[in-house]
Chains A and B, each alone.
Chain A
Amino acid sequence: MTGSFGSDDRQMTNREVLRSFVRALRYIGPFRNRFLVKFGFLFIGFIAMLFLPFPLRILIDQVILDIPFAEQASRFPTFVQPFVALLEGASRGEILVAVLIAQASLLVLVGAWGISGKEKTEANGGLNNGWDIATKTENEANSGFSEIGGVLGWLDFRWTIKTTQLLNHHYRSQLFSRIQALPMTAFDDERIGDAVYRLMYDTTAIANTCYKILFTPVAAPIHILMIVAVMSETYGSNTPMVYAGLGMLLVAGTLTFPASILIRRFASRSRTTGATTTSSIEEGMSNMVVVQSLGGEKREHARFSRDSEASFRQFRYRQLAIYAAILAGVAAGSFLVIFFFRYVSEGIIEGRFSPGDYAVLASYFGVIAGSSIDIGTIWIDLQTEATGLQRVSELLDAPAETDRPDAITLPRIQRGVAVEAVDFAYEPGTPTLRGISFEAKVGEVTAFVGPAGAGKTTAVHLIPRFHVPDSGSVRVDGVDIAGVAMNTLREQIAFVFQETVLFDTTIEQNIRMGRPEASETEIRHAARIAGADEFIARLPEGYQTRLGHAGGKLSVGQRQRLSIARALVREAPILILDEPTSALDPETEQRLTEALREASRDRVVIVIAHRLSTVRDADQILFMEEGRIIEKGNHAELIRNPSGAYRHFVELQTRGVA
């Protein structure tokens, strides 16, 4: 099965990437006000960064070198002037104290006092406990960050983390509801892990992309412009230095492409080997009984050890590729830094700048260069998110089970179900059902019999619309179920699946799932009929026993009984049982068969069974083979045909017992 939301590991085209970003921007919609406030915090940070180098410049020029404010070669920008005005005429000692106070205030307010990144902190709540994807995405899902620290940075952090979480929650919930609405053919066990991955890990790409798309391309140029404006006010124009800073954009832009291709190749290998390791251990653990009972421990050990080692090696290769990229980047970027350094040094030697100006210019150059690198790498940076975004979008777009707009409410079923000439194929070309027709009336038990793989399960799945026929129709009381609101249809069906599914809640809650408003007496009654009451009573906590994952320690038969009880308590007019008795002992089965007979008085009962004892009393027996119904009738009728398939089936079972 190709599945309705499978995507392979192929590379996305740039166009697709771009489209997914445009889409991500739309995702911001409900949260735009929160994003606006976040922008506000960002600009407060920018202004702080603009102010930051000046106290240090005053320390160097006015306090240490004793240059009077008036003789300074360069001016102070407007927003620093009020501070300077305070200091004019003060002694060097007084200026020192004032500057220290200013720095301390900046520290408390925005968590920075010096000029470089080292003397600044950021309110970033990322945890740090391994290199695994779960931690990484947990950090992303709760990404709270700020460009600044101190009180403002803390507020910013709080605001951001809440925004991220609101966004993630919003889209996770949407995705979850979408997954629940997917047709059942979209799910086999392999896809479950994939869906969990999309839901828990890929959704974080939305918030991440939103931040990256909005902040770097919009905010970084604004930041650069602000700095250019302040510099031209302070120093006249400093075009060469600005160009040198912007040159980083070029370096980053040209280098990241080849580097990212290299790194991506290694990263993808690293991921693949990682996945191999995980699945090899997962298999070993899930099949522990087999491993232990067949003595496979040594082999499992060797397999795991080898896979794990390989994944580590691939990770190291990836790391080496990253180092190579870093070295290349540093080599290229160092020319620009050298240019800046010489430019400023010469300015100081020529007397255009004071020594204190070095602090200011170095800080500003750092910002221009850093922002340029951000802009230059944004495309590559976003690529990593694009895959996640696409995987999320795919799922949001996957065809879901939906009602037609004119879907009607199905009234309580009175007569029965009719399947008319239905064809159905999971995969085109290999039909599972071929033109099957049957009727199952209220008041009758209909039994499906036939060899494994004949299509019995698929046939009964048509009734709750788990599968939609390729041709033909399914009618309930004469109404085609394709035009019926799905909820009103499924409300009237109780289904017992071949493979029992229980949830990690109490026994009572598991049964109650059939009908949430059922009373305790009704639940016990259903359990008694299903033959579950006895073993439940033996459990120390009885009906309140928590089952553990997938039914935990209950035996197959016990689990089957619980799922039968769940169906019985539903009291739905249609009851479908897919091999309900395969793991039951004859006594329980006998009781259940009687209960079914009893229940069928005012219901449609459809049962798939292998055992004669379950089938014998059915009002109608449908014998299926290779997707067709080849015999139809009750036991007495069918048994009369000496060469009939059903008779053959009965003979095999009874041979020698009597």
Chain B
Amino acid sequence: MDDPLAQPTSSQNSDPHSGQATAERYREFARLGQGGQADQLSFKLVVGLLRRGFPLLVPVKKPIIWLIVGWTLLLGLGFWPGILVVQAFSNGVLNAAPLSEAQALLLFLPPEPFVGVEHLSAELRTELVSQMVLVVTGFLFFALVCFLGLEYLLIYILQTINQNLRVDMFDRLQSLSLRFHSEQRVGDSIYRMFQDSAMVTRLIELAFLSPLRHLAVFLYSLGIVCIWDPWMALVLAFGWPAVLVVSYLLSRALRGGFRAARETNSGLTAQIQEVLEGIKVIKAYSAEAREQARFEEASWTAFDAARVGRNRFVVYKLLVFQMVGLLAIAATGWGVWLTMNGEDLFASDLVVALGFAAVNSGRWDLGFLTNFRMRFDDGTTSIKETMNLWGKLQDVAIGLDRAFEVLDLEPEVEDAEGAAEMPPLREGIVYRDLSFRYEPDRPVLRGVSLEVPAGCITAVIGPTGSGKSTLVSMLLRLYDPDEGCIEVDGRDIREFTTESLRSQVAIALQENALFGTSVRENIRYAVPGATDQQVTEAARVAGAHEFIEALEHGYDTELGERGIKLSSGQRQRISIARAVLKDTPILILDEPTASLDAVTELKVLDNLGRWGEGRVILLITHRLSTIRLADQVAVIQAGQLVELGRHAELMQLPGGKYRSLVETEADLLTEAAARA
């Protein structure tokens, strides 16, 4: 507490563009998946998301226009013959009434015996049935093919949107600084990419495309019902707002339920993953029973949440259906009543003109009733479907704010405007009064100043967690400093493009990440064009050549997920080879030899020493044998540079940190040597 640097200064807090503020946002972001946002998602937000989603349609506007044209044509074409055929069947076949001219025309029947007679004979009715079967089947098949074609087009559109989104998100995630990635689980990022991009796509479907389709059906239906009976059209039109009110009232509960279900489920998956990753420890500590209990509890929590959410959804759907159903029953009753009394249709002239009925017969009958019922049902169904869409939209909206948030995140480390290519390093690197913290109250580096000239190996040593790794990471601009700067040949590295900076740095890390490709590809990762010979050469320097050759397929051996089949020492050497191959003026080795046995280590370091002449080499290590190689030693403690100098100089400092570190080790060694 008495260390002023441990407290965030107020200026940093108030500056929204500082690293601190960004870090705060990242953490905010990390929390998003964990709930608390559901209740803030309002109707307005959903509308806002729609506005956000709209630009995604632009790249596919052409296919979308085709889709809309297709739907309209298919629907329009479907209605007219549909009504005619139902009419012909209900009246002609069932009731022996004559056909209208239009009906006869559509069914490819001669008008002569079918139109204008009093009653159709049994033979004519049978003939009508045969003809109808042929025409209707043909038409339906044609319509089905068109429909499937449009479905395919829809899928294509949605996939294209999804692909664009995924790639955008992938790029965005790649450009975010490591500070972001250290806040996130890998699985979370991946889940987000796949799930959220799918969800945005789904939103587009639910919010833009499907409603269009339902709206079209609704309008067509409404128009036709209006011809039959405008009062019923009015009822149908007012069914909408009634259902909308119910939806609006229930939508918050729906969202909350969905969100809880999603969270508990992903929590459960994470928990299982963790247990399996740590199974060794669980077994070693006989913690199986405890983990079992924890699992069962989490499992039920997830199930309970899912049940609550789904129950709400079902109740919502059933309620909407009840309302819509009552409307439809009432409309049927009204239609039957009119038919019973033989009332005229509202626009009977129009009906006749469209060929739905023979002349002078624009009156309610079985055929018109059937058509009325069918169109009214179409209308109510589209209301129901739209409301189901609303319900689904609630489900989708939960993940959406997150999805867009990824796209909105500004990379913390970004090239400054007019950033230049970094010229090849000549003189060296200077750390100037560098401070950095991951979290406001946890400073990692405090005012470090250090000169690292070219042609010189600098060893960075210090206790675990003192900030050594962070110090070298900053040279790569994996993070930007909160205060101070790093200069290369006298210029702040933030003046250069990140790409040109990183192209001059090679790094071998403490934790060795390998890719699921061959050994050769792994070594070649930084220099895709490297020849096989260069790869072998780099492997030799890294002391990896011998064991690679001994592998069954040599350099072509495939490495499993995260290179699991190799020992950590072998992985370490491959990542050293990768760094060596990059052949850059700056080489960073972060505990490069921690997992190597003494013989191998010595060999690798020897090689590196020879190879590294004329380069800036930064070496993080614990081992004295490694430190010995260095031209200067920087001792870091609790984020501060406490000692700097050559091995011999530092040994002279009485009570020096370095000296005491060396003595601890050397005592033991000299003693061992003496005994030998």
Which residues of B lie under 8 Å from residue A610 when comparing CB positions?
A: 596-598
Instruction: Check B93 against A513 for contact (C-beta < 8 Å).
Output: no
Residue of chain B at shortest CB distance from A121: B321
Instruction: Check A158 against B311 for contact (C-beta < 8 Å).
Output: yes
| B350 at interface by CB-CB < 8 Å | no
Q: What distance in Å separates the Cβ of A647 from its nearest Cβ neighbour in chain B?
A: 7
Instruction: Check B286 against A491 for contact (C-beta < 8 Å).
Output: yes
Which residues of A lie under 8 Å from residue B265 when comparing CB positions?
A: 138
Which residues of B lie under 8 Å from residue A452 when comparing CB positions?
A: 567, 569-570, 595-597, 600
Instruction: Check A285 against B321 for contact (C-beta < 8 Å).
Output: no
- Among B270, B280, B564, the one with the most A-chain Cβ atoms within 10 Å of its Cβ is B280
| A222 at interface by CB-CB < 8 Å | no
| A653 at interface by CB-CB < 8 Å | yes
**Complex CA distance for A153 and B325, rounded to whole angstroms:** 15
Residue-wise, chain A 440-477 has the 8 Å CB interface mask toward B (1 for contact) of 00000000001111000000000010100000000000
Instruction: Check B599 against A154 for contact (C-beta < 8 Å).
Output: no
Instruction: Check A283 against B675 for contact (C-beta < 8 Å).
Output: no
Within 8 A of A (CB), among B382-396: 392, 395-396
| B427 at interface by CB-CB < 8 Å | no
Instruction: Check B513 against A134 for contact (C-beta < 8 Å).
Output: no
Instruction: Check B181 against A104 for contact (C-beta < 8 Å).
Output: no
Which of B130, B292, B666 has a CB less than 8 Å from the CB of A177?
B292
Residue-wise, chain A 119-145 has the 8 Å CB interface mask toward B (1 for contact) of 101011111111110110010011010
Which residues of A lie under 8 Å from residue B129 when comparing CB positions?
A: 341-342, 345-346, 349
Which of A100, A338, A636 has a CB less than 8 Å from the CB of B133?
A338
Q: What distance in Å separates the Cβ of A342 from its nearest Cβ neighbour in chain B?
A: 6
Of A13-21, A260-268, A304-312, A431-439, the one with at least 4 CB within 8 A of chain B: A304-312
Residue of chain A at shortest CB distance from B578: A294
Residue-wise, chain A 549-578 has the 8 Å CB interface mask toward B (1 for contact) of 110111111101101001000100000000
Which residues of A lie under 8 Å from residue B665 when comparing CB positions?
A: 586, 613, 657
Instruction: Check A169 against B300 for contact (C-beta < 8 Å).
Output: yes
- Among A288, A584, A636, the one with the most B-chain Cβ atoms within 10 Å of its Cβ is A288
Within 8 A of B (CB), among A38-57: none
Which residues of B lie under 8 Å from residue A179 when comparing CB positions?
A: 276
Residue-wise, chain B 252-292 has the 8 Å CB interface mask toward A (1 for contact) of 00000010010001001110111111111111111110111
Q: What distance in Å separates the Cβ of A550 from its nearest Cβ neighbour in chain B?
A: 7
Instruction: Check A585 against B598 for contact (C-beta < 8 Å).
Output: no
| A237 at interface by CB-CB < 8 Å | no
**Complex CA distance for A415 and B568, rounded to whole angstroms:** 34
Instruction: Check B317 against A123 for contact (C-beta < 8 Å).
Output: yes
| A382 at interface by CB-CB < 8 Å | no
Which residues of A lie under 8 Å from residue B328 when comparing CB positions?
A: 113-114, 119
Instruction: Check B465 against A555 for contact (C-beta < 8 Å).
Output: yes
Within 8 A of B (CB), among A382-410: none
| A521 at interface by CB-CB < 8 Å | no
Which residues of B lie under 8 Å from residue A309 when comparing CB positions?
A: 163
Of B33-41, B59-67, B104-112, B140-148, the one with at least 4 CB within 8 A of chain A: B140-148
Residue-wise, chain B 169-196 has the 8 Å CB interface mask toward A (1 for contact) of 0110111001001100110011101110
Instruction: Check B502 against A294 for contact (C-beta < 8 Å).
Output: yes
Given contacts A129-B395, A452-B597, contact A104 B525 (CB under 8 A): no
| A326 at interface by CB-CB < 8 Å | yes
- Among B286, B439, B507, the one with the most A-chain Cβ atoms within 10 Å of its Cβ is B286
**Complex CA distance for A309 and B609, rounded to whole angstroms:** 46
Of A58-66, A74-82, A372-380, the one with at least 4 CB within 8 A of chain B: A58-66
| A281 at interface by CB-CB < 8 Å | yes
| A184 at interface by CB-CB < 8 Å | yes
**Complex CA distance for A315 and B93, rounded to whole angstroms:** 45
**Secondary structure type dominating chain B contacts:** helix
Instruction: Check A513 against B594 for contact (C-beta < 8 Å).
Output: no
Residue-wise, chain A 287-301 has the 8 Å CB interface mask toward B (1 for contact) of 111111111110111
Instruction: Check B170 against A616 for contact (C-beta < 8 Å).
Output: no
Residue of chain B at shortest CB distance from A162: B307
Residue-wise, chain B 280-319 has the 8 Å CB interface mask toward A (1 for contact) of 1111111110111001100110010011011101110110
| A497 at interface by CB-CB < 8 Å | yes
Given contacts A330-B144, A553-B438, A657-B666, contact A125 B314 (CB under 8 A): yes
Instruction: Check B270 against A549 for contact (C-beta < 8 Å).
Output: yes
Which of B290, B299, B310 has a CB less than 8 Å from the CB of A172?
B299
| A239 at interface by CB-CB < 8 Å | no
Given contacts A121-B321, A286-B513, contact A103 B329 (CB under 8 A): yes
Given contacts A173-B296, A319-B155, A616-B672, contact A281 B170 (CB under 8 A): yes
Instruction: Check A296 against B526 for contact (C-beta < 8 Å).
Output: yes
Instruction: Check B326 against A129 for contact (C-beta < 8 Å).
Output: no
Which residues of A lie under 8 Å from residue B272 when comparing CB positions?
A: 176, 195-196, 199-200
| A242 at interface by CB-CB < 8 Å | no
Q: What distance in Å separates the Cβ of A510 from its nearest Cβ neighbour in chain B?
A: 10
Of A211-219, A223-231, A416-424, A499-507, the one with at least 4 CB within 8 A of chain B: A499-507
Instruction: Check A590 against B664 for contact (C-beta < 8 Å).
Output: yes
**Complex CA distance for A150 and B673, rounded to whole angstroms:** 88
Q: What distance in Å separates the Cβ of A517 from its nearest Cβ neighbour in chain B?
A: 12
Q: What distance in Å separates the Cβ of A609 from its nearest Cβ neighbour in chain B?
A: 10
Instruction: Check B525 against A501 for contact (C-beta < 8 Å).
Output: no
Within 8 A of B (CB), among A95-119: 96-97, 100, 103-104, 107-108, 111, 113-114, 118-119
- Among B94, B151, B193, B560, the one with the most A-chain Cβ atoms within 10 Å of its Cβ is B94
| B231 at interface by CB-CB < 8 Å | no
Instruction: Check A588 against B463 for contact (C-beta < 8 Å).
Output: yes
**Complex CA distance for A400 and B333, rounded to whole angstroms:** 67
| A208 at interface by CB-CB < 8 Å | no
Residue of chain B at shortest CB distance from A514: B285
Of A25-33, A186-194, A596-604, the one with at least 4 CB within 8 A of chain B: A186-194
**Complex CA distance for A61 and B13, rounded to whole angstroms:** 80
**Complex CA distance for A149 and B175, rounded to whole angstroms:** 50
| B137 at interface by CB-CB < 8 Å | yes
Residue of chain B at shortest CB distance from A168: B303
| A88 at interface by CB-CB < 8 Å | no
Instruction: Check B561 against A190 for contact (C-beta < 8 Å).
Output: yes
| A365 at interface by CB-CB < 8 Å | no
| A85 at interface by CB-CB < 8 Å | no
Instruction: Check A142 against B329 for contact (C-beta < 8 Å).
Output: no
**Complex CA distance for A330 and B145, rounded to whole angstroms:** 11
Residue-wise, chain A 629-641 has the 8 Å CB interface mask toward B (1 for contact) of 0000001100100
Which of A96, A162, A556 has a CB less than 8 Å from the CB of B510?
A556
Instruction: Check B322 against A108 for contact (C-beta < 8 Å).
Output: yes
**Complex CA distance for A652 and B624, rounded to whole angstroms:** 12
Which of A283, A305, A555 has a CB less than 8 Å from the CB of B167?
A305
* Supplied contacts A173-B292, A279-B561, A294-B578, 14 more A-B pairs, CB within 8 Å: A59-B336, A100-B329, A104-B326, A123-B314, A180-B279, A189-B277, A190-B564, A286-B513, A294-B526, A516-B290, A535-B465, A550-B277, A583-B591, A653-B598
8 contacts between A and B (CB under 8 A): A195-B276, A283-B562, A285-B181, A451-B599, A452-B570, A453-B569, A464-B283, A657-B666
* Complex A-B, nearest 6 residue pairs according to Cβ-Cβ distance, in ascending order: A557-B464, A125-B310, A130-B198, A287-B513, A294-B526, A495-B284
